[in-house]
Amino acid sequence: MPTLEFREAIRQAIDESLAADERVILFGEDVAVAGGVFVTTPGLYEKYGPERVFDTPISELAITSAAYGSAVCGLRPVIEIMFGDFLPLAMDSIVNQAAKFFYISGEQGSVPLVVRAAVGAGGRFGAIHSQNPGTWFQNVPGLKVVAPSTPADALALLKASIADDNPVLFLEHKRLYSVKQELESVGDEPVSLGQARVVREGLDVTLVSIMKGVGDCLEAAARLSSIGVQAEVIDLRTLRPFDHDTLLASLAKTNRLVAIEEGPLTGGWAGEVLAVVAEHGLHDIDDVWRLATPDHPIPFSPPLEDAFLPGVDTIVASVCERLGVQAPR
Amino acid sequence: MTGLADSASQTPALAPLSLDQALALYRRMVLIRRFEDTVQVLFQRGEVPGTTHLYSGQEAVATGVASILEPRDRVAGTYRGHGHALSLGVDPQALLDEMLGRASGLCGGRAGSMNVIDLAHGLMGCYGIVGGSIGAATGAALALKRSGGVAVAYFGEGATNQGYFHECLNFAKVHNLPALYVCENNLYGEFTPMEDVTAGRIVARAQTLELPAETIDGNDLWAVRAAAAAAVARARDGGGPQFIEALTYRFVGHSRSDPGAYRKPGELDAWRQRDPLKLTRAGILERYETADEAQLDATDADVERQIEQMIAAGLAAPYPTPGPAAEFKA
């Protein structure tokens, strides 16, 4: 059966958007001639030419500000910040320029740009090429933060992000680039940003995650099923806007909810999940908790990094402990 | 004057202003000065909240550059941006109302003094972060390359020590973008003299990236117009980014709380001798046989009447009503 690879979904979404709208442009470090260091944009330079697909200096602030300025003046730029860890270099342009423009201009105009960035740990890239910066930006009104978990979602959500009139930070987990999905399950229906998805239904406990964490949750749910625990799995898909309704509906059903975040416990989006359910669903709660990474930088050495990240084993063990059941062997 | 040898030589001559045009530019400069005086007074009376950074003394720069621009061009100003806005023909009443935090303000009272935006007049924004205008205009130039427009960034000499400056001038040069970078060198970054914190010459920084670059008298309206006309023409013709360092001086403190104690003795008085309004008056009288003091005085009086009406209208305008606001464009 034909399959769609995550990185090909990214390429396809940009390709279709470039073809559909002359205003769409793509630029970043090594995205054009080289086709991207994660091989997400090959062939686009050859197809659309140097005016619409081009390489830039290693200047994250200039790249992002150029995207901002061109978006204010009518283009719809898609830029790549190679690693999400480089986003701090571009912070002023994203946070102070792009995200605030619509509101402080008195809604004179908006900033239709997409910042793509590869994020996430597990690749032995160390503390400064492995972070998940989504939560840094979840706190910024005016910015949408998208974090897909599957090739089909990567395709649909990136197209929706490029079509969106607002600035969007689109996060691509490095460990997902080579994930393949059967093509028949790839829908072509338009999706709206800000809608979580129930990817597996269950009655006993809700597992909430994004990106690679969703696959881990599905695997954990399969193992929990073998001991009779039926886990529901929610893919948040966007960190901002933040879908309260899907969380609360699931909590009302399962009464137990755990947020699994590949990122530091303190100040992470998992804390926001717990805040939402505590604030709006207190009467439905039997138990809610978080699984996240320790509050220290991401280590390099494989045994250290593996132990640092919340994986399938951690999720299964934690759910069994909180539910008071024997873990599956 | 310093500059690349080849920068000015290939430019067509700038058509001279008619007297009416010259008087209109003088009027705009007077409007900027009196607007800033008014903001200062209203600030001291507690009517303008927050902080303000006034453009007084630098009027010839924005007025001269704007006189060269077309509707398809875009401008990124700074937090000292009231002059950048008014030079483009932004409605002074709406600008004053914005300072006053009123619903009738240019941005509905959401932006304030430092962050004014008026897309209808080509003002893509004013930037409260030093150097932000450089990035914004670089991006604008990327878009305007398609339409023949030119993007202008104003910034102070202090911004040339920011990452924005080096990253964006390099970016614009390698992508041959139609951008004009106008450094308003008023000698002080906030309270600190330029020479204490800045290595080398400003213009040399642009020249090392091979931008056509020159240093001009920023208080001389005609010098600014000549330099801007040449630079804009080159940028529009595919000549890539251009750089002007306009030497000027602010007659007021950095912001509302700054008395300017760091100024060297006699420096302010010396610059006041070269007040751009005085120089423009003298320039008009010298250049036009039919011009006289009475015309210029009448212009001053006309602006005075306008300002008085604006103050009354601004103070009478309603404040915005707190309530839910859209986070995103739907």
Give chain A's largest Cα–Cα span.
Answer: 61
- Decide which of A329 and B306 is more confident: B306
Question: Chain-wide mean pLDDT for chain B?
Answer: 95
Hey, is the C-beta of A72 within 8 angstroms of any chain B C-beta? yes
Confidence class for position A273, pLDDT limits 50, 70, 90: very high
Does residue B323 form part of some domain?
no
A175 has pLDDT over 60: yes
Does residue B13 form part of some domain?
no
Hey, is the C-beta of A161 within 8 angstroms of any chain B C-beta? no
B10 has pLDDT over 80: no
B328 contacts on A by Cβ (under 8 Å): 102, 110, 142, 144, 165-166, 241
What one-letter code names the amino acid at B322? P
Confidence class for position A185, pLDDT limits 50, 70, 90: low
Q: How far does the CA of residue A66 sit from the closest CA of chain B (Å)?
A: 3
A129 is catalytic: yes
| ipTM for the predicted complex | 0.95
Q: Tokens 């751009």 identify what position?
A: B276
Q: How far does the CA of residue A36 sit from the closest CA of chain B (Å)?
A: 19
Does residue B11 form part of some domain?
no
Q: What is the pLDDT of residues A198-246, one digit of tens each?
A: 999 999 999 999 999 999 999 999 999 999 999 999 999 999 999 999 9
Q: What is the pLDDT of residues B312-328, one digit of tens each?
A: 999 999 999 999 999 99
* CA dist., res. A161 & res. A83, Å (int): 19
A247 has pLDDT over 80: yes
Q: What is the pLDDT of residues A282-303, one digit of tens each?
A: 999 999 999 999 999 999 999 9
Residue B125: which domain range? Answer: 23-315
Chain-chain contact of B124 with A73 (C-beta, under 8 angstroms): yes
Tokens matching residue B320? 């915005």
* pLDDT given at position B4: 40
Give chain B's largest Cα–Cα span.
Answer: 59
Question: Would you call B266 exposed, middle or buried from its count of C-beta atoms within 10 A (0-12, 13-18, 19+)?
Answer: exposed
Task: Quote the strand ranges of chain B, DSSP E.
Answer: 74-78, 123-127, 151-156, 179-185, 188-189, 192-193, 213-217, 242-247
Hey, is the C-beta of B129 within 8 angstroms of any chain A C-beta? yes
B87 has pLDDT over 60: yes
Q: How far does the CA of residue A52 sit from the closest CA of chain B (Å)?
A: 10
In terms of C-beta distances under 8 Å and separation of at least 24 residues, what long-range contacts does A218-225 make, across chains too?
A219/A312, A220/A312, A220/A315, A220/A316, A220/A319, A223/A312, A223/A316, A223/A328, A224/A316, A224/A319, A224/A320, A224/A328
* CA dist., res. A166 & res. A210, Å (int): 21
* pLDDT given at position B318: 98
* pLDDT given at position B3: 40
B76 contacts on A by Cβ (under 8 Å): 69
* pLDDT given at position A218: 98
B107 contacts on A by Cβ (under 8 Å): 104-106, 108
CATH fold of the domain at A3-185: Rossmann fold (3.40.50)
In A, residues 238-277, which contact B (CB 8 Å cutoff)?
A: 241
A190 has pLDDT over 90: no
Do the bridges between strand A3-5 and strand A180-182 make them parallel or antiparallel, or are there none, so unpaired?
antiparallel
Does residue B76 form part of some domain?
yes
Hey, is the C-beta of B141 within 8 angstroms of any chain A C-beta? yes
Q: How far does the CA of residue B293 sit from the closest CA of chain A (Å)?
A: 41
> Chain A interface, mutation test: which of B97, B118, B327, most A Cβ atoms within 10 Å?
B327
Q: Which of B115, B120, B168 sits opposite A104 (nearest CB)?
A: B115
Task: Quote the strand ranges of A21-113, DSSP E.
Answer: 24-28, 53-55, 76-83
Chain-chain contact of B129 with A104 (C-beta, under 8 angstroms): no
CATH fold of the domain at A197-323: Rossmann fold (3.40.50)
The total number of structural domains that make up chain B: 1
Hey, is the C-beta of B320 within 8 angstroms of any chain A C-beta? no
Q: What is the pLDDT of residues A91-100, one digit of tens each?
A: 999 999 999 9
Continuous segment of H or E residues that includes residue A198: strand A197-200
Are the beta carbons of B70 and B121 closer than 8 angstroms? no
Q: What is the pLDDT of residues B22-35, one digit of tens each?
A: 999 999 999 999 99
Task: Name the segment(s) of chain A with CATH classification 3.40.50.970.
Answer: 3-185
Q: What is the pLDDT of residues B167-207, one digit of tens each?
A: 999 999 999 999 999 999 999 999 999 999 999 999 999 99
* pLDDT given at position B7: 45
Confidence class for position B259, pLDDT limits 50, 70, 90: confident
Does residue B119 form part of some domain?
yes
A31 contacts on B by Cβ (under 8 Å): none
Chain-chain contact of A59 with B171 (C-beta, under 8 angstroms): yes
Does residue B327 form part of some domain?
no
* pLDDT given at position B130: 96
> Chain B interface, mutation test: which of A29, A58, A64, A108, most B Cβ atoms within 10 Å?
A108
Hey, is the C-beta of B94 within 8 angstroms of any chain A C-beta? no
* pLDDT given at position A188: 62
For chains A and B, what is the number of CB pairs under 8 angstroms?
Answer: 145
* pLDDT given at position B12: 61
* CA dist., res. B278 & res. B275, Å (int): 5
* CA dist., res. B119 & res. B124, Å (int): 5
* CA dist., res. A299 & res. A259, Å (int): 22
Helices B92-99, B19-44: crossing angle, 10 deg rounding: 20
DSSP state of A189: -
Tokens matching residue A17? 């958007």
* CA dist., res. B211 & res. B220, Å (int): 23
Which CATH number goes with the domain that contains B27?
A: 3.40.50.970
A7 has pLDDT over 90: yes
Q: Which of A57, A72, A166 sits opposite B329 (nearest CB)?
A: A166
Question: Chain-wide mean pLDDT for chain A?
Answer: 97
Sign of CA dihedral A54, A57, A62, A63: positive
- Nearest C-alpha in B relative to A111: B329
Q: Which of B105, B107, B138 sits opposite A65 (nearest CB)?
A: B138
Task: Name the segment(s) of chain A with CATH classification 3.40.50.920.
Answer: 197-323
Q: Please identify which of the residues A129, A244, A280, A283 carries the catalytic annotation.
A: A129
Tokens matching residue B155? 């910034």
B204's CB contacts (< 8 A; 6+ apart) are none
Does residue B51 form part of some domain?
yes
Confidence class for position B164, pLDDT limits 50, 70, 90: very high
Chain-chain contact of A59 with B170 (C-beta, under 8 angstroms): yes
Are the beta carbons of A149 and A162 closer than 8 angstroms? no
* pLDDT given at position B254: 85
B165's CB contacts (< 8 A; 6+ apart) are B131, B134, B155, B159, B205
Q: Which of B106, B124, B132 sits opposite A72 (nearest CB)?
A: B124
* pLDDT given at position B11: 57
* pLDDT given at position B1: 39
Percent of chain A exceeding pLDDT 70 equals 98
Q: How far does the CA of residue B198 sit from the closest CA of chain A (Å)?
A: 21
Q: What is the pLDDT of residues A32-50, one digit of tens each?
A: 999 999 999 999 999 999 9
Confidence class for position A189, pLDDT limits 50, 70, 90: low
Confidence class for position A1, pLDDT limits 50, 70, 90: confident
What integer is the mean pLDDT of B123-134? Answer: 97
Do the bridges between strand A231-235 and strand A197-200 make them parallel or antiparallel, or are there none, so unpaired?
antiparallel
What integer is the mean pLDDT of A71-99? Answer: 98
Hey, is the C-beta of B144 within 8 angstroms of any chain A C-beta? yes
Does residue B324 form part of some domain?
no
In B, residues 182-221, which contact A (CB 8 Å cutoff)?
A: none
